[in-house]
Amino acid sequence: MTENRFFLKDAKEHLGKTVEVKGWVYNKRSSGAIIFLQVRDGTGFIQATVVKNEVGSEVFQKASEATLESSIIVEGILREEPRSPEGFEITVKKITLVDVVKDEYPIGKKDHGPDFLLSNRHLWIRSKRQWAILRIRSRIFQAVEDFYQKEKFTRFDTPIITPNACEGTTTLFELDYFGQKAYLSQSGQLYLEAAIASLGRVYDFEPVFRAEKSKTKRHLTEFWMTNCEMAFCDLEENIKVQEELIMYLIKELLEFCQQELKIIERDLAPLKNIKAPFPRLSYDQCLKKLHELGSDIKEGEDLGNDDETILMNHYKQPLFVTHYPSEVKAFYMKKDPKNPGRVLCADLMAPEGYGEIIGGSQREDNFEVLKKAMEKNKLSLKDYGWYLDLRKYGSVTHSGFGLGIERFIAWVCKLEHVRETIPFPRTIYRMSP
C-alpha cells in the first residue's frame, strides 16, 4: 500500500521529480514574495519554497496561513540545493492545509528549562534534536538484536512480574498481585540462567524497573536492559563478548546514523577511536587510581557516581573494573577461587565521564556455596528454590551481563542526562506525560 508513497529519507532518488510530502511545518521564514516552509515528515526534513509569482495567490495564501506545527501536504518539484543542510529543496506547486495551528506553539526558539521541556515531552519529541536521538535509539535496538542473532543467541523473554528480587531489595517496586506481594523485574538475569540449559546462549531485551531514589543524570526508574547469559562461559569469555557487542553497536551507529549524529553535533573522533580489547583495572587497582585522581573512596566501598565520573573523565576507552568485594555485589556472583573476598565480575565503564554501562559476572555454579550466599543475604529458599535447582540439574560454568541501553545511548550521543534517551522518561520526580 505504501510502495508509491514518497518519504523524505528517499529524496536522493527523486531528484527532478514531482513529490508529495505529508508532514508538519517546523519552521517558517518569508522575504516578501517568497515563503520558506521547513517541513518534516518523520523520516527527514526539507525546505519547501513557495514563490508567489509561480504558484499564484491562492497557494501563496495557504503558505502564509501555515503556522508552526500545522500539518500540511506540499506538492512540488524536488531540486538539489547545496545551501540547505539536507542538500535538497522543494519548489512548491500545491499546498493542502490539513490542520492549521491557531495557538502559539509552546516550544519556541528561546531556551526552555529542562523541567518545562519534560512537562511538554509529548511536543518536545518533535524537535530535530530529539528526533535524532530517538532515531539513534531505534537503530541501537535493531543493532542489539542483530548482534545476538548473528552470534547464534536465542531470544528468551523473561517475565516482568516476579515474586523475588534480582538486584537487591532496596530498589524494588512492589505490587499487589491478587493479595500476594509481587515485584516489577529489576533484570531478567535469573530467568536467563534457567534458559541456558535449554538454549545454550540466550538474551533478553526488556523494560526493567528500579525504585531509585537517586537524582543523578544516570538513573531512571523504568529503563531498558538487554541481558545475555552463556553456558560454558567464564569471566574472560564474558568480557570478550561485551567487547564485541560494544564494538558492533558503535560500528552500526557510525554507519547508519550519520545524519542523526550530525544533527546532535556529536564529535565522532572519540567514538571512531574506540578499540577493543578495552583496558582493565581490578577493584584494588581502581581504588588506587581513584585516590590518585582525588576521590576519598574507602576500601570495600562501591564506586559512587562521582567516582565513576572522575575515573572515566580520565579514560578515552571503555574500562572494565573487575573483582569487586563480594559485599558490594549481588549474591549470585561467583567467588574468586584465588581470593574469596572478591567476586568474578566486571563492570564496563564508558569514557568521556559516563561511567557504568554494563554490569556482568561469572555466576556461582556450586549448589552449597550459592545456598550459603542466599542464606547470608536472607533470601527465602522458598522463593528462590527454582534458582537453586539450576545448580542441582546439570550445573555448568556460566556468565552473562546486562547493558543499560539508556546509559549507552547517553554516552554515544554525549548527552547531559539519560532522560533524553527514552521517549517518556520516568524518574523519582516524574511519571508524566
**Binding interface with ligand 4AD (CB under 6 A):** 166-167, 187, 189, 210, 212, 219-220, 223, 225, 227, 356-361, 400-402, 404, 406-407, 418
Nearer to ligand 4AD, 133 or 166 (CB): 166
Nearest-approach distance from CB 191 to ligand 4AD, in angstroms: 10
* Residue 364 · residue 335 · CB < 8 Å: yes
Is 391 within 8 Å of 363 (Cβ atoms)? no
**What contacts 416, CB < 8 A, 6 or more positions away?**
217
The entry of Mg ion, ligand 4AD, none near residue 404 (CB within 5 to 8 angstroms by kind) is: ligand 4AD
From the list Mg ion, ligand 4AD, none, pick the one residue 355 interacts with, judged by a Cβ distance below 5 to 8 Å according to partner type. none
Please count the CA atoms within 13 angstroms of the CA of 30 that sit on its side-chain side.
14
Classify residue 276 by burial, with Cβ atoms within 10 Å: 0-12, 13-18, 19+: middle
The amino acid at 400: G
Q: Decide whether 27 or 216 has the Cβ nearer to ligand 4AD.
A: 216
Other C-beta atoms within 10 Å of 219: how many? 21
Q: Computed from CA positions of residues 156, 201, 282, 390, in that sequence, does the dihedral angle turn out positive or negative?
A: positive
Q: What is the smallest separation between the CB atom of 150 and Mg ion, expressed in angstroms?
A: 26
Gap between the Cα atoms of 304 and 286, Å rounded = 13
Q: Round to whole Å and give the CA distance between 323 and 285.
A: 10
Q: Which residues pair with 175 in a beta bridge?
A: 182
Per-residue binder mask for Mg ion (CB under 5 A), 93-112, x = binder: --------------------
Closest distance of CB 87 from ligand 4AD, Å: 37
Q: Cβ of residue 387: shortest distance to ligand 4AD, in angstroms? A: 13
Taken in order 179, 184, 185, 186, is the CA torsion positive or negative?
A: negative
CB 407 to ligand 4AD: min, Å: 4
Quick one: what does residue 344 bind among Mg ion, ligand 4AD, none, with the CB cut-off 5 to 8 Å set by partner type?
A: none
SS3 call for 90: strand
Interface residue with Mg ion, options 359, 360, 400, 425 (CB under 5 A): 359
The entry of Mg ion, ligand 4AD, none that residue 189 binds, CB within 5 to 8 Å by partner kind: ligand 4AD
**Residues β-bridged to residue 49:** 36, 91
Q: Of ligand 4AD, Mg ion, none, which one sits near residue 220, judging by CB under 5 to 8 A according to partner kind?
A: ligand 4AD
Residue 274's binding partner among ligand 4AD, Mg ion, none (Cβ under 5 to 8 angstroms by kind) is none
DSSP, collapsed to helix, strand or coil, labels residue 61 as helix
In whole angstroms, the minimum distance from the beta carbon of 322 to Mg ion comes to 13
Number of residues that bind Mg ion (CB under 5 A): 1
Question: Please, which residue, 188 or 359, has the CB nearer to Mg ion?
Answer: 359
Q: Closer CB to ligand 4AD, residue 318 or residue 402?
A: 402
Minimum CB–partner distance for residue 412 and ligand 4AD (Å)? 13
Cell of 393: 540439574
Rounded to whole angstroms, the Cα distance separating 174 from 145 reads 30
Q: Which residues bind Mg ion (CB under 5 A)?
A: 359
